[in-house]
Amino acid sequence: MSLNVPLQLTQLESGATVATEMTLGVHCLGAIPAGFNSTAPVQHVSLPILGDAADALNEVWHVSHACSGGQFEDIAYRRTEDVLFGSLAIDEARLAVEDGSSRLHAATESAYRQIFALLAAEGFSYLWRTWNYLPAIHEEECGLERYRQFNIGRHQAFSAFARPVDSSPAACALGTATGPLSIAFIAGRQASTRIENPRQVSAFAYPSQYGPRSPTFTRAATAPNGDGEILFISGTASIVGHETLHHGNVVAQTRETVANLAALLERANRGRASSPYQWNDLIYRVYIRHAQDYAVVRQTLEGLLGSAIQAVYMQAEVCRHDLLVEIEALAFKPSKATPS
């Protein structure tokens, strides 16, 4: 199968119209830009943007020819021969559940069952990356924190479709103040190559103190893209082993997070001696729990990675109470790694 139509990502200029037939999907985090109009799937999450409001995140996945697509239950999707982007939002209030059972659990399980059913129907077996946003992530529901209910629902859908947890996608999961459960994803016809972090216990193997079902994500993955590849780095935080480090110290947490990102880059760069991923190749999303930490997080990050990095900073609830910052990233390379 030809893989000669690489996926690209561009930041939407304010006021620009999307080349709709060549657009695979869009992420709008923060306000939707004025005049924006898309027939392609859009993941819209209203997170507060930190710094200049004009720095809202409006990313467009596109290719150089027309895509096909449609609607599958709650999912809007577009696809090429090689990749499929989808987005869905589920209003929990709309769901009928039995007394005493969690609406978020039900919504998450339904969302992931829909995703896996669509991928089976379209022949895209490999889930590369998911972006999960859920309201009130720390609130209790049916005696358990909602992030943990989310994890149970996600895990059950993986089991129902016989997807082993160690084949999980790269991912992020963040809390929003309001809005529906919102999930976007990219899947491929070909497998991604998963990367774990030697400094961290794999998330899918976390001990049960973090909830009855573990989060199903891998720390990073590379995916084939034309003659090159895409690197997806999952939400990364100040966790070593499985424990949060540097309670209450956002500067130290930012530094530890960068050490984790460096460990992932080191792995991703095996077999890439001539064209390694470098800090400036990455496009970052930086989630900060307390908006007032923005200046110090940015200063710390730019001090370590340089002030030329391309990053959008947002206020969001990171999924453990004691985590103050979480950073995810992606990058494109025109060539693949050569297996050593």
List the catalytic residues: 326
Query: Of the two residues 36 and 217, which places its CB atom closer to ligand 3EB in the complex?
Result: 217
Number of Cβ atoms within 10 Å of the Cβ of 334: 11
Distances (CA, A) of 197 to 163, 203, 245, 262, 267: 21, 10, 16, 10, 8
Nearer to ligand 3EB, 172 or 263 (CB): 172
132 forms part of the interface with ligand 3EB (CB under 6 A): yes
**Contacts of ligand 3EB in 302-331 (CB under 6 A):** 319
Do 109 and 159 contact (CB within 8 A), yes or no? no
User: Are 201 and 188 contacting, i.e. CB atoms less than 8 angstroms apart?
Assistant: no
Residues 198-227 that bind ligand 3EB (CB under 6 A): 203, 215, 217
Comparison of 89 and 264: residue with beta carbon closer to ligand 3EB: 264
Judged by CB under 6 A, the stretch of 32-40, 106-114, 183-191, 231-239 that binds ligand 3EB is 231-239
The per-residue b/e assignment along 74-113, b for 16 or more CB within 10 angstroms, e otherwise, is bbbbbbbebbbbbbbbbebeeeeeeeeebbbbbbbbbbbb
Decide if residue 69 touches ligand 3EB (CB under 6 A). no
β-pairing, 193-195 vs 144-145, is unpaired
**Number of residues near ligand 3EB (by CB under 6 A):** 12
Rg (CA), the chain: 19
171 near ligand 3EB, judged by CB under 6 A: yes
- Closest CB to ligand 3EB: residue number: 235
Distance, in Å, from the CA atom of 28 to the CA atom of 31, rounded to the nearest integer, reads 7
Among 24, 67, 83, 237, binds ligand 3EB (CB under 6 A): 237
Give me the residues that bind ligand 3EB (CB under 6 A), please. Answer: 132, 171-173, 203, 215, 217, 234-235, 237, 239, 319
